[in-house]
Amino acid sequence: ADDKYTDKYDKINLQEILENKRLLESYMDCVLGKGKCTPEWKELKDHLQEALETGCEKCTEAQEKGAETSIDYLIKNELEIWKELTTHFDPDGKWRKKYEDRAKAKGIVIPE
């Protein structure tokens, strides 16, 4: 399907990245434009804004699941990184509330 993002990197072990603080911070630096990017993270960085704004409508099933897993993990375990990402990609807070409400519906507590 031409209207989907490439599935070339869909097999990445996200859990391994999320649970490794050094790796996670390195990838966040890439996505936030503060550091070097691997090819797979450059791909993510190039599409992240659009994916956020469209509710991931061009995402493959694996990417959609990965996005949800990542967002939930960051809100629950790395709130500072989540805040930095949303400040960068969603400065007006247009989409942040939707993703945080979805996390709350799953029982994830978001400290104020």
76: containing domain: 14-106
- Is there a domain that residue 83 lies in? yes
Q: Does residue 88 lie within any of the structural domains?
A: yes
Cα–Cα distance for residue pair 85/83, rounded to 1 Å: 5
**What is the tens place of the pLDDT at every residue in 6-36?**
999 999 999 999 999 999 999 999 999 999 9
Is the model's pLDDT at 46 over the cut of 70?
Answer: yes
Kindly report the pTM of this predicted structure. 0.87
Single-letter amino acid code for the residue at 8: K
CATH code assigned at 70: 1.10.2080.10
How many angstroms separate the CA atoms of 96 and 112, rounded?
14
Question: How does residue 66 score in pLDDT terms, banded at 50, 70 and 90?
Answer: very high
Q: Is residue 111 part of a domain?
A: no
Report the mean per-residue pLDDT for the chain.
91
Domain total of the chain: 1
